[in-house]
Amino acid sequence: MFYEFAPETLMNFRTSAGTRSIGYGKHARLAFQEHLRQRYQDIAAVNAALGTDFADFNAAVQPPDPLAQKRETVTPLDAEFEIFRENSYMDYLRSINQAIKTADPSKPTVARFSGLITDMNGAQVFDVCDIVSHHCRAPRMQMVYPYLNSMNRHYRRGLGYMEDFWGCQDAQDRIDEEQAQRRGLEKHVARSLIWGRTLQMKWYSYTTGAYIFTYNGNWMSLRHDLTTMRYCAPALGVTLRKLENFDWVLTHSEITPGRILLLQPSASMRNLRPSHSVAGDMQQFHNFLQANGFVYESLPEEFLLDGRVSLSEFDVVLLPRAQYMATTLQAQLADFVNGGGTLVAMADLPTADELARPGAVFQQKLAAAGKTREWKTADQAWATERYHAAGRVLRLTAGVGTGIPAADLVAMLKKCAGRDAWADGDVLEVILRHAEDGNDYLFVQNPDLDQTRAATLKFTVPCAQLIDASLPGGVAVPMRVEGVVKSAPIRLGPAETAVLWLKR
């Protein structure tokens, strides 16, 4: 059916001395010297750009592996080498892909990137294979769904899920509870399909070890599941049969784009390695958005730098710590704010370019600050809001995902970023998919594994009749219309998913 290569690929590996980065050693040094020749042409340009004093290209050396020797500061040479290391690894995967395609062009290729966001930038993953696959533990797995979906809007490829042993996901600490395991797998499989992971493969069996207890989700057999307390298997067949009824919809529709952008600051992620602080910020933003019912886009900064995406497509930009950023992108962000956009920043704003050279273009281009106010909870300031021309910057002083009451932030996002569909009341995950035949479908999921949740479903897209298509034959749902907003009550059991057809 397909060729899978680069399974569970990361950009590091384990040794007896600890984890080490790929891309170091004699051959990497020679390749890095060639990279500098191609990029800068002469050694004087290298020294001017990187602040080095190499006599010639043969004298150029790679900096130490930060996993082996901690960086005290980030130098331009460090940053240049990280760019080389990242691009070289993708070139390596690209060459494998091309070799397979040359030998057998009749079948697609699949690459599985388990290190996305924490260890690997996703900006090039769609360029090195036909189908992008990914898996990891919760909660990062859930953060990667909108990340891959947002990038795939520009490629329109298949998204794969080539090893579903993480079926338990957020029920992984409840492996001895039958209901939690079944509901957890039901939610996980449905959510994966809703977010476009339409090519899936189940490992048939593992034989021994704690592996089979905690990585719950592979199909083995009823006898095996009973003897190892793996209660989830029946949920797999039930969920797949239910979602198979929407096979055409899932494979011939796309999720309606959100007006909120979670920007991955790729340069900062590279330069701050091995710290996972950028990934941690992205995770906090994701947890906050998902818990409050916001659908958003998530993209690496390269999509803005090369013009594939414009900030004008968004009302709000969420920025993890990003002290390193290309000056052209800094200028784009400043223009976005000055033109009326809202920037919500976690910790550091840009003060250097992608090569760690001083350059605070963002602050220089930002219009002079007008009204300023502190956002406080119990007399403790947790954010500072400053208006600049028509827009504003909200700078968080503590993580939104670590228990800080954020009702004001929720209200601001609701006001700034228009939504096509959402649920008021108990939080339900609402995803609007627009199909090729012009129909719209709402996929609504209760994320709670224990409690039934009820809410008022609201949406603004055209709809003459609301049909619960997840019930046999389809059942009409009472709907109210108030101006452009349509609403209907909805009640879902633990981990239940409903599919509603917005019949025009």
Indicate if 371 and 498 belong to the same structural domain: no
Helix (H, G, I), strand (E, B) or coil at 287: helix
Measured distance CA(485)–CA(418) in Å, rounded: 12
Within-domain flag for 180:
yes
Gyration radius of the chain's alpha carbons:
24
pLDDT in tens, the chain (504 residues): 899 999 889 999 999 999 999 999 899 999 999 999 999 999 999 999 999 999 999 999 999 999 999 999 999 999 999 999 999 999 999 999 999 999 999 999 999 999 999 999 999 999 999 999 998 888 899 999 999 999 999 999 889 888 765 566 777 778 778 788 888 888 988 999 999 988 776 554 555 555 555 555 555 566 666 665 566 767 777 888 888 899 999 999 999 999 999 999 999 999 999 999 999 999 999 999 998 889 999 999 999 999 999 999 999 999 999 999 999 999 999 999 999 999 999 888 999 999 999 999 999 999 999 999 988 877 778 889 999 999 999 999 865 555 556 788 999 999 999 889 999 987 899 999 999 999 999 999 999 999 999 999 999 999 999 999 998 899 999 999 999 999 999 999 999 999 999 999
Residue 93 host element (H or E): helix 76-103
92-100: list long-range contacts, CB under 8 Å, 24+ apart. 93/5, 93/6, 93/9, 93/128, 93/129, 94/127, 94/128, 96/5, 96/6, 97/5, 97/128, 97/129, 97/130, 100/3, 100/5
Any domain includes 237 = yes
Where a domain ends, among 194, 227, 253?
A: 253
Residues 375, 429, single domain; the answer is no
Cβ atoms of residues 49 and 353 within 8 Å: no
Domain that holds residue 316: 260-416
DSSP codes of every residue in 140-200 = HHHHHHHHHHHHHTTT---EEE---TTTTGGGTT-TT-HHHHHHHHHHHHHHHHHTT--EE
Question: Does 357 share its domain with 304?
Answer: yes
Q: Which residues pair with 492 in a beta bridge?
A: 453
Q: Give domain status of residue 297, yes or no.
A: yes
Regarding whether 311 and 205 lie in a shared domain, the answer is no
* Alpha-carbon distance values, 337 to 14, 265, 341, 386, 387 (Å): 44, 17, 4, 11, 9
Supply angle C-alpha 242, 247, 250, rounded to 5: 110
* Cα–Cα dist 113/419, whole Å: 31
Which tokens hold the place of 39? 């990029």
Residue 121 lies in a domain: no
Torsion angle of the four alpha carbons 275, 280, 282, 286, in this order, in degrees rounded to the nearest 10: 160
What is the pLDDT at residue 166? Answer: 57
Paired residues of 20 in beta bridges: 13
In this prediction, residue 390 carries a pLDDT of 96
Asked if 264 and 411 sit in the same domain, the reply is: yes
Kindly state the DSSP code that residue 50 receives in the 8-state scheme: H
Counted domains in the chain: 3
Predicted local confidence at residue 381, as pLDDT:
80
Query: What is the pLDDT at residue 15?
Result: 94
Question: Which residue has tokens 């954010």?
Answer: 383
Quick check: is 114 in a domain? no
Task: Give yes or no: residues 377 and 447 share one domain.
Answer: no
Q: Let me know if residue 407 belongs to a domain.
A: yes
Specify whether 402 is located in the same domain as 264. Answer: yes
Summarised one tens digit per residue, pLDDT across range 58-76 is 999 999 999 999 999 999 9
User: Both 247 and 291 in a single domain?
Assistant: no
Read off the CATH number of the domain in which 440 is found. 2.60.40.1180
Q: How far apart are the first and last CA of the chain?
A: 38
Distance of CA 297 to CAs 3, 52, 118, 208, 317, Å?
30, 39, 18, 40, 10
Q: Are residues 411 and 330 in the same domain?
A: yes
Q: Helices 140-152 and 178-194: crossing angle, nearest 10°?
A: 20
Q: Do residue 367 and residue 293 come from a single domain? A: yes
CB atoms inside a 10 Å sphere around CB 87: 14
For the stretch 203-235, pLDDT in tens is: 545 555 555 555 555 555 666 666 655 667 677
Establish if 403 belongs to a structural domain: yes
Element holding 131 (H helix, E strand): strand 131-133
Q: Are residues 371 and 333 in the same domain?
A: yes
Same-domain check for residues 368 and 276? yes
Q: What is the DSSP string of 418-452?
A: --SEEEEES--EEEEEEETTS-EEEEEE---SS--
Kindly report the CA angle at 291 between 393 and 198, in degrees rounded to 5? 110
Long-range interactions of 362-367: CB distance < 8 A, separation 24+? 362/325, 362/330, 362/331, 362/333, 362/334, 363/334, 364/334, 365/330, 365/331, 365/334, 365/335, 365/338, 366/334, 366/337, 366/338, 366/393, 367/337, 367/338
